[in-house]
Structure 1
């Protein structure tokens, strides 16, 4: 239960464990037909520091976890070190864009004490230098309101499956405490920032993103936060700090193989 154990066990945040139950129903989206409808989920490559999972929520706006965009020194990574690769599958991305502006929530402290308040603010937005056409990747929208039930799904990259997104069609919210959620979805290092979708209103809507995990009875329990308020605050922050794209073509970052797995999911900034 969140009220009793979560912050007592956050010291186990760096442990990497899994169970057979966690991987049930996980499907690798390899073929073009498999990716249909999920193109807006991509891998966020961090210039040799590893990768996270991220999602288009507007044609030029990407949602991910705040701890993904910090370096080991606790400083925000420069935008030119971050590349979003939409629908990346086996070395080929449907669209690849360099970041222009990176905004992490101001209440997320990269080197701060682990706490529920840190998790609830573990949200970042990245504005891309060039938008991605909706004909290539249709952005997902956030779920508004609280009526989305407990049956959810997740699409993510992660250690051992970094080359293509994997989708778990059915998992669940197993506990809620204020604006925090526990899930029984399958996650791995690299899954930070992965979108958690509701099944309300037709196409999935994002209800949360993966921030981290705790260990309970030998099982990994991923958790995340409610998003609408955090994302609204970040959009306002982004407008205040708006960055203008430089004149001239962006420098493309091309990779044909999987990026090195990192501890971004296991240890923020690690």
Structure 2
């Protein structure tokens, strides 16, 4: 899933940003060799609705966009309608897991106003797998510090027209940040919601943002992601405090406020 809209409030600063570095083209990860290091990114199928993209951040926990948890009528989608297919290529997944519960950020408000920065800034969710994924080639990703204007990032995503294999864009650029929203030049499509945005830090590939939406700024297509500097830590702290999953699996967090020093987000796709 992926949303598209005109993003009017952002970025007087973009005009002053340095000229973007040379961006790389999308590469379809169709072979096992191409996919090495990216197997923990998968397609999050939603029965009766479509799909998003998600990434493994713990052996039983995946990160995606919060709006992927909501149906067209605004209701929460039951956990049993989700299936995570890690490393999916040409109909075969490296690991397939059902979902026991799905939790959106407590301050995320799904009211259909995708242009609201406050909605994009909290558009993250975690989903608990029914069984852990423990494989050398599918290790959970660590979380990077928030990217800065001018930083180079990369994205791995599924999307419309490329549903059967993930696509990698190795180099795109952070154009700017505002009110918890990261604006990037990454090439995303419908279905890319929840995709992980990566940065190389300390010799490791870490998630720096999660795709929430597509947008246009001054006629240019951009990707919008969430700054994870605070929201993800808060979300994970509440998830840990909730105890076992309840029947039905889909829950909404109650409160927020814990310190957050991790972050990850990717563009959303509906």
What is the TM-score with the length of structure 2 in the denominator? 0.80
Question: How many aligned positions are there?
Answer: 233
Q: Compared with structure 1, are the counterparts of its residues 50 and 240 closer, same or farther at alpha carbon in structure 2 (3 Å cutoff)?
A: same
Q: Which has the higher strand share?
A: 2
Separation in 2, partners of 1:135, 1:201:
20
For structure 2, the 5+ residue unaligned runs are 1-5, 11-21, 248-267
- Shift of residue 200, structure 1, vs aligned partner: 2.1
**C-alpha distance in 2 between matches for 1:44 and 1:170:** 24
How far 1:121 sits from its partner (Å)? 0.5
C-alpha change, 1:215 and 1:179, in structure 2 (3 Å) is: same
Give the aligned partner of residue 214 of structure 1.
215
- How big is the shift at 1:190? 0.3
Give CA deviations for 1:84-104 in whole Å, capped at 9, x if unaligned: 100000100000000111100
Cα deviation, 1:56-84, whole Å, max 9, x if unaligned, reads: 00111000000011111212211111111
Partner of 2:88: 88
Partner of 1:67: 67
Q: Do the aligned partners of residues 214 and 106 (structure 1) sit closer, same or farther apart at CA in structure 2, a change above 3 Å counting?
A: same
1:117 shift after superposition: 0.9
1:237 equivalent in structure 2: 238
Per the alignment, residue 132 of structure 2 pairs with: 131
Q: Quick one: distance in 1 between partners of 2:23 and 2:90?
A: 20
Does structure 1 retain, via aligned residues, the 8 Å contact 2:8–2:217? no
Aligned residue number for residue 15 of structure 1: none
**Change over 3 Å in CA distance of 1:203–1:148 after alignment to 2:** farther
Structure 1: runs of 5+ lacking an equivalent: 10-21, 247-263
Q: How does 1:132-151 map to 2 (within 5 A)?
A: 132-144=133-145, 150-151=151-152
Q: Which residue of 2 aligns with 1:265?
A: 269
- Distance in 1 separating the partners of 2:26 and 2:103: 31
Distance, in Å, in 2 between the alignment partners of 1:6 and 1:161 is 25
CA distance in 1, matches of 2:84, 2:97: 5
Please state how far the C-alpha of 1:109 moved relative to its aligned partner: 1.1
Contact 1:44 1:51 in 2 (8 A): yes
TM-score (norm 1): 0.80
After superposition, the CA RMSD in angstroms is 2.3
Alignment correspondent of 1:190: 191
Q: 1:91 to 1:101 in 2, by over 3 A?
A: same
**Structure-2 residue corresponding to 1:255:** none
Matched position secondary structure for 1:239: helix
Deviating above 6 A after TM superposition, structure 1's stretches of 4 or more consecutive aligned residues are none
Work out the CA distance in 2 between the residues paired with 1:175 and 1:148. Answer: 5
